[in-house]
């Protein structure tokens, strides 16, 4: 995202400066929705508004391009996407963004814009030409922040599994991160997990062991309001707990939280094995 306090040495059109005059403006209307039918793919709808004859001319002359600058802190995703039209839709693959997504429209100089004589700008810039290199920022609009929420129908959808070579091969660790519960596994532990997960008869064992441990750590993290606010999945999990009348703030020790985790996963674990049914 551009630094709004920076002096660029040449005119930049933005809502935060008076480099341009005579009602010149640049902005973008954006919205984002998720599609459950495409595994929570994110669709970003945009509509660019540009009122600046000078910038319109250099865009037509291919001396500049319009981009949407996207940034998601939760997933560390950042990308500037070149727009081929002033209005349209951008599709992001599932898992690319989660939680808060910041979107900012920008206009950037192309290779052919080495020397520009700006029109419609403040008198302080005079009539001289400015040397502007490829990639130089020419305009930026207001940043829009969108909070994305995805529907997860399976509890296992909260868990991301990773192999870590530096761990004891027969052990695993669990981290309640901003956008998922991360199950970090040693090599042998990961092999066992994959074996259990591939078998309909044995898969419930995961909900009694590894997955139960994941949700035990998750419930402990959710008991801290400050931490819970940073967990994008916490509200969804809280709704599942309330459906089962499980109130973790009433629990005082690890044994009670473990009991809550077992109740949360009982229909996927012990009850399935006890009934002899498969997933």
Query: Model confidence over 72-96: pLDDT tens digits?
Result: 876 678 899 999 999 999 998 776 7
Q: Alpha carbon 277 to chain centroid distance?
A: 37
Distance, CA of 79 to chain centre: 11
pTM: 0.59
Whether residue 109 is found in the same domain as residue 180: no
> Are 243 and 170 within one domain?
yes
Q: Within 13 Å and on the Cβ side, how many CA atoms surround 47?
A: 2
The answer on 127 and 205 residing in a single domain is no
The contacts of residue 238 (CB under 8 Å, 6+ apart) are 222
Cα–Cα distances in Å, from 154 out to 25, 30, 68, 71, 151?
46, 30, 33, 27, 9
Low pLDDT (below 70) residues in the chain: 1-5, 35-40, 74-75, 95, 149-157, 178-179, 232, 276-279
Query: What pLDDT is stored for residue 278 in this prediction?
Result: 44
Rounded to the nearest integer, the mean pLDDT of the chain is: 84
As beta bridge partners, residue 43 has 33, 91
Choose one of 148, 183, 210: the last residue of a domain: 148
- Dist. CA 68–CA 16, nearest whole Å: 18
Domain count, the chain: 2
> In sequence order, which ranges of the chain are alpha helices (DSSP H)?
53-60, 187-197, 204-208, 210-222, 225-228, 234-243, 254-265, 270-275
- Report if residue 199 sits inside a domain: yes
Identify whether residues 217 and 121 lie together within a single domain: no
Domain end: 123, 148, 173, which one?
148
**pLDDT at site 279:** 40
Same domain (yes/no): 142, 187: no
**CA–CA gap between residue 103 and residue 78 (Å, rounded):** 10
Mark whether 163 and 142 lie in a shared domain: no
Do 239 and 264 lie in a common domain?
A: yes
Within-domain flag for 19: no
Residue 165 domain boundaries: 155-275
pLDDT score recorded for residue 71: 92
């Amino acid at each position: 995202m551009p630094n709004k306090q920076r002096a660029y040495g040449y005119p930049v059109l933005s809502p935060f400066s008076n480099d341009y005059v005579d009602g010149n403006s640049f902005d973008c209307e954006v919205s984002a929705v998720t599609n459950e039918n495409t595994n929570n793919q994110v669709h970003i709808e945009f509509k660019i508004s540009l009122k600046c004859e000078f910038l319109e001319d250099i865009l037509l002359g291919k001396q500049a391009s319009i981009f949407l600058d996207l940034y998601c802190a939760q997933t560390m995703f950042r990308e500037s996407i070149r727009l081929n039209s002033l209005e349209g839709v951008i599709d992001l693959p599932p898992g690319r963004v989660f939680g808060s997504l910041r979107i900012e429209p920008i206009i950037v100089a192309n290779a052919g814009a080495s020397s520009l004589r700006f029109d419609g700008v403040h008198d302080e810039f005079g009539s001289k030409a400015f040397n502007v290199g490829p990639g130089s920022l020419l305009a930026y609009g207001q940043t829009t922040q969108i909070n994305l929420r995805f529907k997860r129908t399976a509890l296992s959808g909260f868990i991301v599994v990773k192999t870590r070579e530096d761990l004891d091969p027969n052990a695993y660790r669990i981290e309640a991160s901003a956008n998922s519960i991360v199950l970090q596994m040693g090599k042998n532990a990961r092999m066992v997990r994959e074996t259990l997960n591939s078998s309909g008869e044995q898969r419930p064992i995961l909900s009694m062991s590894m997955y139960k441990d994941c949700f035990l750590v998750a419930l402990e993290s959710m008991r801290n309001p400050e931490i819970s606010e940073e967990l994008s999945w916490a509200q969804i999990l809280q709704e599942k707990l309330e459906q089962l009348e499980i109130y973790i703030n009433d629990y005082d020790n690890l044994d009670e939280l473990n009991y809550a985790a077992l109740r949360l996963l009982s229909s996927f674990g012990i009850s399935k094995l006890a009934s002899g049914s498969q997933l």
